[in-house]
Chains A and B, each alone.
Chain A
């Protein structure tokens, strides 16, 4: 009998939890990653992971409220059943991580400690210092190594995914390239899980790792997979500007009492205006001249409003109101009121990062921060089977702290084990983690990303196994027995691409117009200006034209390295081509969504429009035209009725809001 096997592409939290779960079910796993899996981008997650817990529960919190917060935080764009299931799984996932040995911070009695995070009034975020992602990834890396030692998981590290192999309507393997030897070859599998993360690098500088190009998703997209809500890109409010990347300053800094302010002067009309002393040593600015704008505008949530809102407020203060520190694009994030010893214990890792790169110790000097592209809510479009909870009518918004209408049993949100859970529109091709568009709607709440990665791996990993065991085609025609023609065709296609690229080495004059690094840089600047905090039809049109120009220049690209061994330039240049297509999907999606919702804010359509746009944007790659087409698909909103997303805003200052009213110049970086 043929061995049934699964390919997992990507070794971050989603890919590793999927590998462990699938291997445990007795199926062979081949795990592909461009980096040793322990170095995946999940290491960068800092703040924590959300789950209902006993302390919060006894104060009135519930899994249901976690679900409600996530839907509200995502501005009612996510399909609701999968989010309910994720919230219900969350406490069990924390327990599992605990058993794996994650060093979660502890209380004096030895229980897991909790912290406050954006979008919630309850402490429901579990954490390991300020490097929670690293600690979670290591726990899964260790479990994967254990299965590797037992021969149940084969790792292919430093292998780059190039293309899915699709035969007879289903995905039956991949073609990949060894990044050292440059060998291109096909690998057979009965199902393929993409767990390849986000696409921050299309913005040039972001908080993402260097591998987060979105290229793997773009390759599936070109092969026919749909891409959901590409326009939903999260800009994190607090990052440290840098020459090569923008380093994240975790939301936990605000959760642990960090206050955001700018030097300002209260005018006679009671509003705040610029302060000529801005830029001086912040410790010399008296309290009466500090404008704590988030606290004033959002008395209930204060500094822990969700990310899209904090980002727009910071942007408004700097760009529209001219009150940025030293009149630059930066505001203070101030932890100096907290006890230095407490800070070292709770936030040590991220405070070290700031000190290393900037030189000041944030325990004693307020940090200077500014927003940065951070996370992609959008990603490959996936399906799900609804679970057993089917209210006759969607309920009204859950009142915080009130009794939950349901228990948290598994299977109410999604049907557990259904083969289509997190499967793309291509049979046998799955998308887990950040590359999956589900769960976060139009804005992700802090500390929900690690959860969605693990939930996909642990819950939907079972779906992959069931698909292979029970599907008519997959169970009866194992990939191992298929003829080799489909595989050979894709290998040839990829070899031809490599040949076309390497042939350009030394051809004609070197010019910035056809230099891959220059094209990527220009793309990043354009995308940051047009497709981040504020968008408008005219600016997006300009962006569309710029992408077309860059695609044209890319068709004449010239490589700087012909090496047949470890040619990073080749891999990078190939990814730049894919990033142009991801950018196109982001830009076109932004153009078509003529409303403002969550992270997507249009100055020309400042309000949310549920009648027309409470729908998923689906980008489809048109093969003949080699371009993006946009559709809108209805969403599952059968559990909670949409309400206005205000977070209790009070606005005496005018100007910015959950929606910024003034038209800002988008040329902000």
Chain B
């Protein structure tokens, strides 16, 4: 598993390979797309393979699934149902269409088939994320991810929506730090890649299971805001407890798979330090 989320140099090589593939890809070819399917919670999974004709440059996994939906027939000629998947903006800002493509988690809208399957007969595989319960086929239930944002109180506690003038002034440097963190689209890539974050269908366990890099980073985002930091102690209290920042095993996969290049390991380190200071404060306060 760890090897899938390889070193930076291996990732750079893979990225260069994709760009090279994009250049040599011939339009009009047929590729094979293997999809792991499941009819619903508790049902067994199965693989189905489809032929997909790549007719235009820039075809992504979304267009592959749309083509299959219009005529769902497997390579064996067996009629089947359209594949179920989650999608939204199709431009990598909404976080909906995360799946495991060729063994690696990513957004499917920004995954171009030219990059991965440039030649006739090349095969790609699509699987649902494994760390969340399956709804159907490639669609998983990510409620826990949003629940964890509640745990860390990921908001600024404003006094209400009445007109009360501007917010706090902020330096450009601070804004840039916060903006980078604030681009987290709750896609779940960091959780899929994390060895410490495991599937947990039992909701009563959510509050004590590892919270994940995304929520730790969001806690840091709001702790960095002048008004948001009013809740800093409460956030750190949660992150100090079971399932908090100390459960991070430092595999550093999260930062490698984040499609928005959010400095997740920096956030984990920063929150880790803040938690330590907070525990010292708590100790002296008794």
Contacts and interface: CB of A to CB of B under 8 A. Distances in A.
Contacts of A243: 56-60, 63
Nearest to B137: A566
A95 B81 contact: no
Contacts of A109: 169
Contact of A353 (B91, B179, B183): B91
B160 interface: yes
A358 to B, nearest CB: 7
Interface string B165-202: 11101111011101100110110000000000000000
B228 interface: yes
Given A38-B186, A244-B62, A515-B70, A101 B228 contact: yes
A563 B110 CA distance: 29
B122 interface: no
A134 B158 CA distance: 20
B152 to A, nearest CB: 11
A245 B91 CA distance: 9
B60 A95 contact: no
B284 interface: no
Contacts of B269: none
B272 interface: no
Interface residues of A, number: 71
B24 interface: no
Which one of A35, A44, A108, A244 has the highest number of Cβ atoms from chain B below 10 Å of its Cβ? A244
A569 B69 contact: yes
A115 to B, nearest CB: 15
B136 A134 contact: no
Nearest to B182: A103
Given A39-B95, A353-B92, A569 B175 contact: no
A357 B112 contact: yes
A288 B165 CA distance: 51
B40 interface: yes
Interface string B83-96: 01001111111111
A353 B40 CA distance: 34
Contacts of A349: 93, 183
B92 A356 contact: yes
B104 interface: no
B163 interface: yes
A107 B178 contact: no
A359 B58 CA distance: 10
Contacts of B110: 356-357
Interface stretch (A145-153, A167-175, A330-338, A471-479): A145-153
Given A36-B146, A142-B154, A245 B70 contact: no
Interface string B147-162: 0011001111110110
A99 B70 CA distance: 47
A415 B186 CA distance: 40
Nearest to A208: B89
Contact of B69 (A148, A359, A517): A517
Contact of A517 (B66, B170, B171): B66
Given A149-B150, A560-B72, A108 B172 contact: yes
Which one of B72, B155, B225, B227 has the highest number of Cβ atoms from chain A below 10 Å of its Cβ? B155
A359 B174 CA distance: 31
A518 B70 CA distance: 7
B139 to A, nearest CB: 7
B136 A565 contact: yes
B60 A244 contact: yes
Nearest to A54: B166
A277 B175 CA distance: 44
B102 to A, nearest CB: 17
A509 to B, nearest CB: 12
Contact of A99 (B58, B69, B156, B178): B156
B164 interface: yes
A44 B172 contact: no
A566 B40 contact: yes
A241 B63 CA distance: 13
A96 B161 CA distance: 7
A458 interface: yes
Interface string A107-141: 11111100000000000000011010011001100
Contacts of A565: 39-40, 136
A569 B81 contact: yes
Nearest to B176: A345
B100 to A, nearest CB: 19
Given A210-B90, A357-B60, A560-B82, 13 more contacts: A24-B161, A39-B96, A101-B227, A129-B179, A142-B155, A180-B135, A180-B136, A210-B88, A244-B109, A518-B70, A563-B39, A566-B40, A566-B139
13 contacts: A20-B161, A24-B160, A36-B146, A39-B89, A40-B94, A43-B94, A99-B227, A101-B227, A105-B179, A110-B169, A143-B155, A180-B136, A349-B93
Interface of A: 20-21, 24, 35-36, 38-41, 43-44, 92, 95-96, 98-101, 103-112, 128-129, 131, 134-135, 138-139, 142-143, 145-146, 148-149, 180, 209-211, 241-245, 247-248, 345, 349, 353, 356-359, 458, 515, 517-518, 521, 560-561, 563, 565-566, 568-569
